[in-house]
Structure 1
């Protein structure tokens, strides 16, 4: 063999090879460190865990069948979820979610919303001056009756709740 045909690494070739390998190694190390921290914090693999409590629905007033229902929704999981729909076998017509907001001049405005976020590790408490569920009573309800609801969540799926019918003058908190 001649002296010309033998490949010999030069200092520049070795430096270029090391720099080319350093970028993917650094990116992998950073990703692995982030995943390790996330797992150590208890958040890895922790889906939303939804429970519904304190379910109540207002007794319709007079001849009206329109009313509102309220729920306390807890998410003990590590991921956010979203309430996307509410159904009930004892309601007539469409059931909608709405949010009431202050207009700043002492008045309030109501707007239908498509969904409501239930943040990880938090409780969403529905109230007359915030988030609520609008519906029409399907039959003559009386105070103390139980009305079945199904709350549908984007990730957790459906969750059953029994709401007690209460008079509008009853405190909701």
Structure 2
């Protein structure tokens, strides 16, 4: 075999092959760099860290024991979590997570929900116009009383908090 019979790829073909291989390598390096920065900032793999504030329960009115409780739930972690249950030994009967929806007029209706998402780095602020906790008030509750609650989450540990009983207009005497 002589040197004249050896096949050599043309220079253009080598350049095209090199460019084609460089694109996925550059994309991989860029993705790895982004993930490294995300990890270095403490966001990768950090579990949900839940705090509860502004806990309040409405004083029942109209003679019935039905009322609602509201909590501001903050997730300082890097993963979503879900509120799946609220319990309290100070209430009469069941406690349920619910969502209020407005009808065409000025009326609203309540539907029970299985859970409420608390987004990573975000907040779930319960209100009469959104998610809340429906319950039957304990006997003799008065504005200013403190009611213990435990909030249970899908991934995180239960959080104990105390809600203050307030008048439906938001007043505490």
Q: Report the CA distance between 1:37 and its aligned residue.
A: 3.7
Structure 2 unpaired stretches of 5+: 1-7, 9-20
Cα shift readout 1:18-48 (whole Å, capped 9, x = no counterpart): xxxx9xx969868744542431342113111
Q: Distance in 1 between matches of 2:80 and 2:53?
A: 18
Q: Which residue of 1 aligns with 2:117?
A: 117
Aligned residues: 157
Q: Which residue of 2 aligns with 1:54?
A: 54
Q: List, as ranges, runs of 4+ consecutive aligned residues in structure 1 with deviation greater than 6 Å.
A: 25-31
Structure 1 unpaired stretches of 5+: 1-10, 12-21
> Secondary structure of 2:94's match?
strand
**TM-score, normalising length from structure 1?**
0.77
**TM-score, normalising length from structure 2?**
0.77
Q: Which residue of 2 aligns with 1:129?
A: 129
Q: Aligned ranges for residues 19-38 of structure 1 at < 5 Å? A: 32-33=32-33, 35-38=35-38
CA RMSD of aligned residues (A): 2.7
CA separation of 1:65/1:154 partners in 2, compared to 1, >3 Å: closer, same or farther? same
Q: Which residue of 2 aligns with 1:159?
A: 159
> Secondary structure of 2:74's match?
strand
> Secondary structure of 1:94's match?
coil
> Secondary structure of 2:141's match?
coil
Q: Is the 8 A contact 2:56 2:69 kept in 1?
A: yes
Q: Distance in 2 between matches of 1:93 and 1:30?
A: 56
